[in-house]
Structure 1
Amino acid sequence: MAPIRRVGVIQWHIKDVAAEENHTTACNYIRQAASQGAELAVLPEYHLSGMVPDDPRWAIQAGDSAKYLANYQALAKELKICVVPGTIIEKHEGPNQSTIFYNTAYFISNDGSILSSYVKKNIWHPERPHLTSSGLDRHVAFDTPIGRVGMLICWDLAFPEAFRELIADGADIVIIPTYWTPHDASKDCIAYNPDTEALFLESTLTARCFENTCGIIFCNATGPSKDFLGLSQVTLPLVGPIAKMGSEEGICVADMDLRVLQVAEQNYKVRQDIKRDDWHYVYRHMKR
């Protein structure tokens, strides 16, 4: 595996329940990423629909999810670029003929094939009336043209256990599509720090890289600062963010030097420790 991988994160002001417009915007940005030599392009969570589950059109659009996924597969094959098309809301039949919705991230390879998918496990409180979690399904890593990868979604970032399970399965890079806004903080939180959610992201992303000797590709939505954070970034242990966006719309392409991960692991020996038979924290880890 090449030690340096060129990856792109894409953020823009996602239009609510405007799947066709958002899809066109996403495809244009993916083409730009490919033209800049990116081997992977990552989009934000809810990139087709926005986070408006109370709008009846939101559920209707979820019925078209397969069409958009197939379009991204064709584009990835055409451009020979891997794509994580943020998350796509999918409509499924649940128990007793009920309808349930999954918030799903896919990893599409540069030949158009789907290498893996992940359904959001840790669902943010306002989402819970609308989405179904992946529950007790394991967090699993998988091999890709850019290395061994794991995927999480948004609020999963808050759970170290998710990362531990992924790196126990050999993940070197964790990809996190996100729709994280300033409104995720309560008035009481904001009274202590108006920028509390930005601080959460800045500190936690770097901490997760250090404590897991992994790289993170984090892709968020953006828009007016009162409603959106942006801050999409590529982050590594030892050095922190190697490329970071503010609130601007657009694409950021960065070269991930994966040799940093080896140096960090040689120093901290996190992966070595959790593979020991006498590892003293009881997690549901898969050993590789």
Structure 2
Amino acid sequence: MVDSVKVAGIQMEPKILEKELNLERCLDFIQTAARQGAKLLVFPECALTGYCFSSLDEGLSVAEAIPGPSTEAIASVCRELEVYVVMGLLEKSGNKCYNALAFVGPEGLIGSYRKIHLPYLGIDRFATPGNRPFRVYDTPVGRVGLNICFDVRFPESSRVMALQGAEVIALPTNWPKGAESAPRFIVHTRAYENRVNYIAVDRVGVERGFRFIGQSKIVDYNGRTLAEADVSREEIIYADLDLKATREKRVVIIPGEFELPLFEGRRPEFYGLICERGESVEC
């Protein structure tokens, strides 16, 4: 069990439909971040493919299986450099397209995640919603959970992973103009309420009329910003994360006088409505 880890968030501008070029650039970014001592590297949502697709067929044209050629190329670099990478890409399964993440390390593919909560935007208009539960991966760089972009608007996703012992949640994202509250408030809230570190990595640039707002950030378990990227520039941000502190879910300010039982104080018997489907529930 590791108590701390140096992480990197790679804020970049993917080129839509240019998967080979994007992969080549991602491999270069991995080399750069590894030279700075980072062990866990997070890329944006759809980093290998771009996001603003106009049809399912167009998305499927650059989607691939997981594991597949791209994850194999990433795994080769991970073995060479002894690093772990969370990469955004489109996954093809039969005639379905998933907005997905691949979690890759020196040992190869560790796991993958299919975006569960889909907005009506870009490839998510045509993608199939994820069909696998949220899970946490126990690795030499910590216990890592995976979310994608719009997932962060649903607090249940972060809480489920925190209850599984997540120490870090990776959030590859494509925040367009209009989503400024996500980096400003929501990421901090999810980190603070779950006492978990967050690596939220956005893209930059304009793609088919949509401008993306950057502002990738690394936030600690107290909701404090450790590193933040520019609104329009490609860059890599770094931070050292305290993993040990995330395991202490009872926050003691004054022993015996002022203590916050964040998880043991939960009352799930009163939270049943959260699990009800529908736009609203009458009480």
TM-score bracket for the superposition, by shorter chain length: 0.7 to 0.9
**Alignment CA distance shift 1:208-1:84 (3 Å):** same
The aligned amino acid for 2:13 is: H
Verify: 1:230 aligned to 2:214, yes or no: yes
**Percentage of pairs with the same residue:** 26
Query: What 5-or-longer segments of structure 2 have no aligned partner?
Result: 253-259, 276-283
Measured in 1, the distance between the counterparts of 2:245 and 2:184 equals: 19
Q: Offset at 1:163?
A: 1.0
**TM-score, scaled to structure 2:** 0.85
Q: Give the root-mean-square deviation of aligned CA atoms.
A: 2.2
Measured in 2, the distance between the counterparts of 1:279 and 1:3 equals: 33
Partner in structure 1 of residue 13 of structure 2: 13
Partner in structure 1 of residue 255 of structure 2: none
Q: Offset at 1:12?
A: 1.3
The aligned amino acid for 1:100 is: K
Q: Offset at 1:53?
A: 2.1
The aligned amino acid for 1:168 is: L
Measured in 1, the distance between the counterparts of 2:124 and 2:235 equals: 30
Q: Offset at 1:204?
A: 0.5
**Alignment CA distance shift 1:265-1:114 (3 Å):** farther
Verify: 1:134 aligned to 2:138, yes or no: no
Verify: 1:269 aligned to 2:261, yes or no: yes
What number of residue pairs does the alignment pair up?
Answer: 261
Higher fraction of helix: 1
Measured in 1, the distance between the counterparts of 2:65 and 2:264 equals: 44
Partner in structure 1 of residue 51 of structure 2: 51
Aligned positions of 1:1-288 closer than 5 A: 1-54=1-54, 57-63=58-64, 66-85=68-87, 87-93=88-94, 99-109=95-105, 111-126=106-121, 127-135=123-131, 137-182=132-177, 185=178, 197-223=179-205, 227-238=211-222, 240-247=224-231, 248-262=233-247, 265-267=250-252, 268-274=260-266, 279-282=269-272
Deviates further, 257-266 or 120-129: 257-266
Measured in 2, the distance between the counterparts of 1:239 and 1:130 equals: 34
**TM-score, scaled to structure 1:** 0.83
- Deviations along 1:47-67, whole A, 9 cap, x unmatched? 111113226543211147611
Measured in 1, the distance between the counterparts of 2:134 and 2:103 equals: 14
Q: Offset at 1:115?
A: 1.9
- Structure 1 runs of 4+ with >6 Å offset: none
Contact 2:9 2:201 in 1 (8 A): yes
Deviates further, 240-249 or 219-228: 219-228
Higher fraction of strand: 2
Q: Offset at 1:280?
A: 3.3
